[in-house]
Amino acid sequence: MKTYKYYAIKSDGTKVEGKIEAETEKEARAAITSLGLFPTRVVNPDANSESAANKKQARTEERKAIRLKKLSAREKIDLTTTLQTLLRSGVPLIEALVFLETDTNSKRMKAIAAELRRQIIGGSSFADVVSKYPQTFDNLYTGLVRAGEESGELDVTLERMSGLLKKQDDLKSKIIGVLAYPAIILVFAGIIVLVMLTFVFPKFAEMYEGMGAQLPWITQMCIDVGKFMASYWIVPLSLPFLIWFLIVKLFEWPPFKRGVDEVLLSIPLVKEFDKLAEFSNFVSVLLVSYEAGVPIVDCLYLANYTVGNVILREAIEAARIKVQQGLHLSTALKASGVMPPILLFMVSTGEQSGKLGEMLAKASDYIDNQLDRVIELMTKFIEPIMLVIIGAVVLVLALALYLPLFQSYANIGN
């Protein structure tokens, strides 16, 4: 039998330490757990090895704290779902985090779980800890976790949060699915144009020079651009990255973002798609936070946090202020002038019947169904539009290439 020294915590959070005899470290941990304690560290009592173990663990925790990175949507869903499942099964939060730290395959999840465990053992609440990492746990996540801890229903709140994260991930996938096709087509068209201008037009330029005729402006422009790109090849290679950088920076500029949002809300089909996508998130968050026991004013704040369109977000913020001043939710949302009529009707009915949560759930389902319909309709419209764009690109390039030949044949005929 070996004697192990252990560090553990009681159910009330009190830290204790002691010694226990066991054949292996695994048996020692089992014996400590049977005493009603949760072992945070079990080491060999030898002073040198213990000191080395302490230093190694300190270095490991320090590295993990430094390397904490933002979790992907899938990792965040997995972390939340795992914690909810273990808590629902009666496993303490610390042990659930230890499970994630030791048994997950994601290095980022291991680091997050280790840091959460370390700080909770140090006396912080779960909500306080996650609030320190806004790159992974946003205001919505933190607010719902805090509400779950205060109500004593953290597992139920995490279950709602997991469902919300899955829905948001599905919505993001739908939006990407709608935009992926035109993006691929435009990239493909851009590559064709670059190849034609850089390699094809310079070859035709030699033939055109032998003809001695004045070239059409569109042909001359393509040849000049092609020569420039052939001489400065770094330009076509860096152009996509430069365009992407400019787009990102422009969207970070508030006036430009507002202008784009206003345009999106003025195009018939795009307007419907944008509003339904935004309100799908809005209603889902409103429902989850309301069911978690969050005050309605804070529910509106958390829900509005997910709205990306500046115009819609400002209108909802104005409604939140009116609710804070004592106005009914349905009246304040109606005054915003941006809410779908069905949502206003559901909220009004829910307030009058005392079943706001149930009505919000029905409104969420209705908006999701409408969004699926609009996505299907947009997909049907995008395909012919992309064909027209590709056809226009091919037509312009073909005219630029063959107009000089047509002119030459016409001069010969005269």
Domain boundary among 44, 65, 86: 65
pTM of the model: 0.67
The distance of Cα 269 from the centroid of its chain, to the nearest Å, equals 24
How far is it, in rounded angstroms, from Cα 176 to Cα 308? 15
Same-domain status, 182 and 243: yes
Specify the CATH number for the domain of residue 224.
Answer: 1.20.81.30
Considering its fold, how many domains does the chain have in total?
A: 3
Residue 143 forms part of a structural domain:
no
Same domain, 283 and 400: yes
Mean predicted lDDT score pLDDT of the chain: 81
Residues 54 and 91 in one domain: no
Tell me how far apart the alpha carbons of residues 256 and 401 are, in angstroms, rounded to a whole number. Answer: 38
At 220, the amino acid letter reads Q
- Asked whether the predicted pLDDT for residue 38 surpasses 70, the reply is no
212 and 287 in one domain?
Answer: yes
Q: Is residue 165 part of a domain?
A: no
Give the CATH number for residue 47: 3.10.20
Which residue, 117, 137, 157, sits at the end of a domain?
137
**Are 10 and 129 within one domain?**
no
Q: Do residue 128 and residue 241 come from a single domain?
A: no
Distances (CA, A) of 385 to 185, 268, 381, 393: 11, 16, 7, 13
End-to-end CA distance of the chain: 110
Please report the pLDDT score of residue 311 as a whole number: 92
What type of residue is 140? L
Decide if 160 contacts 292 (C-beta within 8 A).
yes
List all residues 6 or more positions away from 315 whose beta carbon is below 8 Å from its beta carbon. Answer: 336, 337, 338
Q: How would residue 40 be classed by pLDDT, with cut points 50, 70 and 90?
A: low
Q: What is the pLDDT of residues 269-296, one digit of tens each?
A: 888 988 988 898 888 888 888 888 888 8
Identify whether residues 77 and 109 lie together within a single domain. Answer: yes
The type of residue at 266 is: S
**Is residue 16 in some structural domain?**
yes
Q: pLDDT band at residue 47, thresholds of 50, 70 and 90?
A: very low
Give residue-wise pLDDT tens across range 332-342.
999 988 888 88
For residue 93, is it within any domain? Answer: yes
Structural domain of 338: 170-414
pLDDT above 50 for 50 = no
